[in-house]
Each structure stands twice: as C-alpha cells, then as structure tokens.
A and B are shown apart, each in its own frame.
Chain A
Amino acid sequence: MGTEKSQAAGAPATKRQFRIWRGDETGGDLKEYLVEAKEGEVVLDIIHRLQSTEAPDLACRWNCKAGKCGSCSVEINGKPKLACMTRMSTFTEDETISVTPLRTFPIVRDLVTDVSFNYEKARETPAFAPPPGVAPGDYRMQQVDVERSQEFRKCIECFLCQTVCHVIRDHEENKPAFSGPRYFIRAAELDMHPLDARDDRKEYAQAEQGLGYCNITKCCTEVCPEHIKITDNGIIPMKERVVDRKYDPLVWLGNKIFRRGQVPQTSVTSEHSPGAVRTPAAGPPGFHSHAGASHDPQAEAQAQAGVNWHREVPKPTAPTLDESGKLPLTELTFDRPAAPSPFGEDVTFPLPPEHLNYAHPEQDKH
C-alpha cells in the first residue's frame, strides 16, 4: 500500500546491534542480535521484528504502542523507558542498544517482570470517599480545582517511577513499608480532590505508605513518561502539609491516625548533617543507589549521560525535635523564629546544582 511506498522512499533499512536480556528467575544473560531497523521506528518495533523472525518466544509486554497504556516498560541502556516511545533515531548508528527488564521487580521471563507489588500497594491505598449526601449528577467542581488532581490522573501506571526509586530499587527489605511514588501521587490526587470526604490522606501517606522514606531525589519525576511533576506537585506538598499539621497542637492532639506512633519526619539535609535522629523502625535507607539495570559498563555510561545516577544525593534526616520527642510547638519554646523547615534546619536554598537531579526534557537529542 501507499505506506510501503514511502518507506522505500525514506532512508534504507540498516542493521542495528541489540543486546536483549533473555532468561527467567533462575538466571539469564544479554543476548546479541543484529536487527534491521527502518526509518521512523521505535524500540518496540524492533522487538516485534525479532519476535516475528529469530526470537518468536521473546517475552515482552505491550498493548497500545502509543504511550497510553504503560505496558511496555523496560530499561533501555539502563534507563527506565517505554519501549514504544523510544525512537530509534535517538541512538547513533553504531551504538549498541541494550534492553533489560525492570530491575526492581522479580523476573518472569525475558523483558517481563512481576509487577504485582504495585497492584498490592494500590489495593492498600484508601479509595475515593464520596461526599455524603451529594447525589450523582450534583457534583459541582471548578476546572481550576480539578486540574491539580487531573495532573496525577494522567498516570498510565507504567511503574517506571516505581522501578527507578532507590528506596526499593535495590532494597527488597523496604518494599513492605513503602508504596512508592505512584501511590504517593494517588494519595496526593485524593488529597487535592475537591470533593473527597477524607481529610487524612497526608497523615496516611506518612504513617502507612512510607512517605518518610522518600528523600526527594526526583528520579521518579525524571522518568515519568507523562511528565507528571511527581515530586514537586505531589510528594513535597504532602510532606509539607504533614509537618504543618504535626506542628499544630490541636491537630496533633486530635490525630488518631498515627497508628505506628511518632513516625519521625524525614526530610532532606546535606550529606554531613549533624544531629540526624532516626528511629530504627521507620528510618529510611542510609545510602542511595541508582546504578542502572544492566551491569553493563557501556550501558551504564550511556545512562549516565542522561541522568547523573551517582551524584551526591542529600541524606535524609529527621527534623529537630524537642526533649519530648515532638516538633517544637510554638515559637516561644523554640530557639528560632517561625516554623522549623521541613527539609531540616541546615539546608540552605537554593541547593547547589550538582545536588539536583534534573535532566533537560530534550536531553536525548544532545
């Protein structure tokens, strides 16, 4: 048909070098493939070509091939990405492209991982609570008020943010207590929902979802294919408000939500923060690791061209508490004016640029 014609009219197909992880939970390794790639194709096209030629049983999830369903998440050259949204033209012709499964979740086979962790966390997150007494059809909300939650509802549940988050990426032991960025924004979404009848979303995130483990490295925001500002618009406001409420004596007293007792507020301070107090039970992991998935030095180097995984990341510490183990309640009993900073007392803003994990949206282009 016509399309074929114009393919022929475009640049001729070239052979490209791929390394794809093959195996299952008992082990496996990177297999080399030399595959044809045509102009305008994406990595998922190449995987499909492999399936229909030399590797018919190569396992890979996909549905929409349009960046809408979040099924095709893999790690490409060590960076978590949607295979259907990664254009071949973003690689140089002599570049070897490695495709590996999401590192944070158990392997099923080849590029498919067991992502049930996410569905379990989804089930634990309290659902929308409809406002009592408002009949269907009588919901009235202003566009400006729904937009904040709508940003989070753009989420396609690709779980790229979940796989990249260092709290669970190489820390199986944190999984039970930590829901991950996808579910922090779910809590944030409900918190900002104009008609949601619950008002303890933040406290819940803190006490039950492990929000305290997050030290705002922003890696989740970086990989989100929907460009949701997970950290800035979701996590940070949730953290700030929890501090506000803890700080308010009335809320503090009246709050029965803290089932796990005084979960200390974690926050970002610099590496050498003195006096960081941590309770062992809820303390966040002590170091940061974003090594990429493939253990392949070349891939690692490529990944780092985009994102600086090894930058010095601020260590989480608890805020300054008073003798009774609580946040100082008023300015009278506290040694500084105004409320304590949720980021810890010894952080000065703006943070030095090398502490930030920001990558320009067009970084792939170079």
Chain B
Amino acid sequence: MTTTTRIERHHYDVVVIGAGGAGLRAAIEARLAGKKTAIISKSLFGKAHTVMAEGGAAAAMGNVNSRDSWQVHFRDTMRGGKFLNNFRMAELHAKESPQRIWELETYGALFDRTKDGKISQRNFGGHEYPRLAHVGDRTGLELIRTLQQKIVSLQQEDQREHGSYDARIRVFSETTITELLLDGDRVAGAFGYYRESGEFILFEAPAVVLATGGVGRSYKVTSNSWEYTGDGHALALRAGATLINMEFLQFHPTGMVWPPSVKGILVTESVRGDGGILKNSEGKRFMFDYVPDVFRKQYADSAAEADRWYEDPDNNRRPPELLPRDEVARAINSEVKAGRGTPAGGVYLDIASRLPAEEIRRRLPSMYHQFKELADVDITQEPMEVGPTCHYVMGGVEVDPDSGAAFGHVRGLFAAGEVSGGMHGSNRLGGNSLSDLLVFGKRAGGHAASYADGLASRPRVPVPAVETAVETALAPLQRDTGESPYVLQQDLQAVMGDLVGIIRREGELVDALARLGELRERVAKVSAVGGRRYNPGWHLALDLRNMLVVSECTAKAALERRESRGGHTREDHPTMDPAWRRVNQVCSLEGDIVHLDRKPLPRMRPELFALFDRAELAKYLTDEELAEFDALTEEER
C-alpha cells in the first residue's frame, strides 16, 4: 500500500530545516559556498518565530559606550548562564556578533542610528553596556526580513545566471519535516509533507541543518507559536544525536497575564531598560528586595540611585528591574505567592508614570500599538499586568561549538539557533539569541557545505525507512478510535505548566514523569478527523509525539538536577551547587525511552578564566577549581 503513495523527490546538497534567523543565515552561507540548498519551513516564508523578537541583537560594537568589547560581552554571557555555558560558544558568539550585525547592513538592514550615524545600541537586562542593536521594538522583524531579502537577491543572481530563481536555493514554505532518514550513521535525507496539499515530499541530501527553534508549545502560558513543538529536538534524538541542558527553560518575567487576548504576549525588556518599574499590589517597588549577593556590585539598592542610572550609567549602579530574567521571574513569582499579586496573578509593570506619553510612544511604538489594539490598554496611561511566561529553551542539540555538528552517533547533522544547546548555559541574556542565530547559523551552514564537499560517496535513502515514515504520518488519519489531538495537547500543557513549570519540586516531577508515561500511550493512539489537505488537527497529531519526547527530557533532567540555577529552580534545592556546575545532563533516545547521562563540562581556557575576578569566580566554582585558578594566576606573575 505505502509504496503506491505519491512522494515528490528532491535532491539537494544541504537541506536547512527552519526559516528563522538561524536557518536563513545557514542557507545563505551554504549557497554562498556553492551548494544547492533547500530551506524548509512549517509556516510561510518570513513568518518564523524570529519575527517576534523585539528588544534587539546583542553585539559588542562599542558604538554607544566605547568601553565595550568582546571580553565584556563574553563575561556577561557566562555570568548570565551561571557559568554553565559552553565557553567556546560564548567566546565565538562574543567575538563574531559585531561582524554578523554589520553584514546585515550590507544586505539592506536599517537599524536605528546614533548621533554620529552608527548603529545605535540599547541597554538590556544582564548586559553591562548598551549593546543591543535594534530597530524600535521590532528588531526580529528587521532581521528576518533582511535575511529573506538577501535570499531573494541570491535567487535573482541565479535567475540571471541560470535562468531560474530556484536554481541553487529554494524555499519550501508550509512544509513540515517529520523524519530524518539515515544511511547507516550518515544523514541521507529528510521526509515530510506539504501542509497545503498533504502530499509527501522527500529530500535526499547528505547534510541537514536543524534550525527549528524551541519547545514552548508544551506550556500553557507561552509566548511561542504553534510551530514551537520541539520538532528539531525530537528529530535529532531519533537520528541518534544528543540533547543537553534540557532542564533549563526560560520563563520571561514579563508576559501579559491579563486580558486573555494578550495572555502570554511579552512585554519587551526595553520597557524596563527605558525606565519601567515593577510594583506589587501594595504599590511597592519590590525588586530592591531581590538582588542576589552575586549582583550586589552592579545593582542599585535605592530608588534614587537606580533612577540616576538612566541619565548617568557610568557613576551609578543599575536599577534592579534590569537583573537577569530568571531573577526577575522568581521575584515576581515570590510576590504573587505571598499574596501581593494582581487579581490575574501577576504584578504591575509601570512605565506610564515614569515617562511622558509622547516619549513612550516614540521609544516603544509597537508595544504601544499592540496593547492599544489587542487589549485596549493604553500603556502611556495605565500600568500593565505581567507575570512569568514560557519563552525560550536553553537546552538543545549538543553540538561541536565551532562547526555546529551534532554529537552522538550521527554524521551530517548540524544544528543552530534555539534548537542547539550550550551557548546560553542555564540562562540566556536578552538579545543574545538574535546574534546567536547569525553567528552559529553562518557557521553551521558553512560547515554543512564543506561536510557535503568532503564526502566520497553520497549516502542513499533506504526505501523501508521511507515506507515507515509514510505509515507513521498517515496513522492518525486512519484511526478513528483515538482521542482528539487538541485534548491531548491541553493535557500535556497542563502537566508541564503545573508540574514542570518555573518552580519545581521533586514530588511533582516524579508525578509529571508518570503522567507523561500515560500520555505517551494516549498519544500513540491519537486520531485526527478530516482529510490530508491543510488539516491542522492532523498536523498537531503529528507534532504531539515530538512535544512529548522533549517534555520527557525536560522532566527527567529537572528531576535529576538537585540545585537551582538559571532557568531551573528547585524549591527543595534552592541554592546553586558548584559541583553541579561541572555537569551537563545529556539526553539520548533508545527505542522510545529517554536516557539521561552526565557529562563533564568542557574546561574553560586559562586566558578566559583570567577575565574574571577571583571574588566572582568564588561564587560559582568548586574549591578544587579555585585552587587551579590560583595556581594559574600565580604562574602569570
């Protein structure tokens, strides 16, 4: 039966799954390296999640404060990630971001400018200097549109040279990949379906770049769209690659909690960067009570000093509203739990009383516009009601930092962007994602191209694997006894939101794992009504198994890690444990069972260690490591 199913076949050198910032940058690089490249995306071209990024892209260009440098950026990134970052990724990111941003200007991007005509940079939580290149508060849109237009310009080149726009780079929009196909341990291709027609499509390609973004759809309150079902994470696992740091999820501290039409939508950090403050229901500016010792040196302890900082950042410490996101999220959570929250379970974010209405509209145009239109809330007049929202997954495919090649036992698989893990450690700084996409997108695309070049023979797609993929894809349509995918998704979201949310406890995590086990059986029997053409129920049914396996990784890793760090907070283990800092938790798949292993973190190079104060390192490192550090600095003298 299955062999008679029509399957459209394509041959490419490099297939990029995902058309967000990372995917597009990877595709540009592969095409520039002369490879025939396909870009695949679940939604239309130019609509990927990157569109939603607001605040900006972090790069130490030093346009606003010339004291900024890659070393300072590196330091901030490591600090933000609580030293769990892959140091090499953080280093490459800090060094290469400025070039990647400047390059965008040659593609036609128009960032906001400084007085002397350079790219303007703004303050953001966790960054020591103003560092985020931005365009109002629609930076992600600028980034994705610029890359999209660069791809168009490459296609126009190909049209002139080869007579076809699609000669060397082609976009397959509204196409979902459901399976990677292997020839032994080598990637041989990718299988999926067109959403519009439900027809199947097979890409034969020796190199695949995953750039599928995150996993937030497994949570109830999330800023993420329907696309974020962890497909790339799951595809990698099933192909034999590994995931790291899956316990670390970022809950954005300030997502809207009321009214429902905007629930989950983020209020960009620049509202706080531009002077917005957080208040509880008693009207108290509570963040001063939540500055952790590690940050005392950089953050103000009085409202007067904090307020002076906006004008004179060199001589004052920063307002505590600009602490890294997890600190802010935790503070809000504590306030709400202590009964000082708003009726909808959040706190107030107030910019209205801090800046003139005119100024707010100028600095935060799309924020203003969004709330006015979506919720009829005028942010220049009244405070917003905000609370923690699932936003970003730090964990992802374990990759080689320089090339983006996936670890585990698979070759020809690369990953970049949110789907890859390690760069951000246990917590991502705002603005570091957009530059991460560019830096590692370019690297992954380039290395995928040279991997394809270096192959002596092209891998072949095994026929039985294609048949299995077809059967798996059609199964939900052929069953009519199972449950609705929407019900299953709601149940999954309830388990993750309630039991594996921002604050975690051992008992709840154990419970969560049991429930996920039950869900696994129900998901295996899911059924979708309707036909194959643009059927969202069917699409969701297929996404569910990805969401499930990724959720299991998160729950397992969260149960194991008995400490609190960055995007992982255990109520029963509330402090950071230096011994845990040396450990990455690695997930792999055997059959359909998630396995968890521990692996030591790569050791940071001495000259990078030397960028930090001993006093600061003492908060993160074990005594043993500190002794090594002392020995090192001794030597240098």
Contacts and interface: CB of A to CB of B under 8 A. Distances in A.
A38 B99 CA distance: 48
A146 B110 contact: yes
A41 B116 CA distance: 45
Contacts of A137: 61, 98-99, 102
B538 interface: yes
Given A6-B258, A63-B226, A127-B153, A69 B374 contact: no
Contact of B345 (A1, A40, A110, A143): A1
Interface in B324-375: 336, 341, 343-346, 366, 369-370, 373-375
Interface in A14-73: 24, 38-42, 45, 51-52, 56-71
A153 B373 contact: no
A7 B42 CA distance: 33
A183 B75 CA distance: 44
A125 B152 CA distance: 9
Interface stretch (A111-119, A265-273, A313-321): A111-119
Interface in A118-171: 119, 122-123, 125-128, 130, 136-137, 139-143, 146, 149-150, 153-157
A259 interface: no
A9 interface: yes
B538 A57 contact: yes
A140 B376 CA distance: 39
B536 interface: yes
The interface size bin for chain B is 35 or more
Nearest to B153: A127
Contacts of B622: none
A49 B361 CA distance: 34
B486 A108 contact: no
A129 to B, nearest CB: 9
A150 B533 contact: no
Give the interface SS of chain B, mostly helix, strand, loop or mixed.
loop
B51 A109 contact: no
Contacts of B47: 63, 69-71, 157
Given A3-B258, A128-B149, A109 B107 contact: no
B130 interface: no
Nearest to B53: A68
Nearest to A24: B533
B260 A40 contact: yes
A130 B152 contact: no
Nearest to A148: B110
Nearest to A66: B265
A62 B106 CA distance: 31
Contact of A142 (B117, B220, B373, B529): B117
Contacts of A40: 258-261, 375
Residue from the set B52, B98, B528 with the largest chain A CB neighbour count within 10 Å? B52
Contacts, number: 208
Nearest to A44: B261
B351 to A, nearest CB: 18
A254 interface: no
Nearest to A64: B52
Interface string B391-416: 00000000000000000000000000
B108 interface: yes
Interface stretch (B135-143, B300-308, B587-595): B135-143
Contact of B102 (A51, A52, A115, A136): A136
A192 B106 CA distance: 16
A74 B490 CA distance: 26
B374 A66 contact: yes
Contacts of B153: 127-128
B629 to A, nearest CB: 35
Contacts of B261: 40-42, 45, 87
Interface string B486-502: 11001000000100000
Residue from the set B98, B102, B373, B487 with the largest chain A CB neighbour count within 10 Å? B373
B602 interface: no
B534 interface: yes
A2 B387 contact: yes
Interface in B108-138: 108, 110-113, 116-118, 120, 135-136, 138
A3 B536 CA distance: 27
Nearest to A137: B102
B581 interface: no
A96 B165 CA distance: 45
Interface string B244-262: 0000000000000111111
Given A3-B221, A71-B44, A56 B259 contact: no
Given A71-B47, A143-B112, 9 more contacts: A1-B221, A42-B374, A60-B536, A65-B265, A68-B52, A69-B51, A108-B196, A112-B534, A225-B373
15 contacts: A3-B257, A3-B258, A3-B263, A7-B260, A45-B260, A57-B537, A61-B43, A67-B370, A67-B373, A85-B373, A128-B153, A136-B103, A137-B99, A146-B110, A146-B112
Interface of B: 43-49, 51-52, 61, 98-99, 102-103, 105-108, 110-113, 116-118, 120, 135-136, 138, 141-142, 145, 149-150, 152-153, 155-156, 159, 165, 173, 196, 220-221, 225-227, 257-265, 336, 341, 343-346, 366, 369-370, 373-376, 387, 484-487, 490, 497, 528-531, 533-538
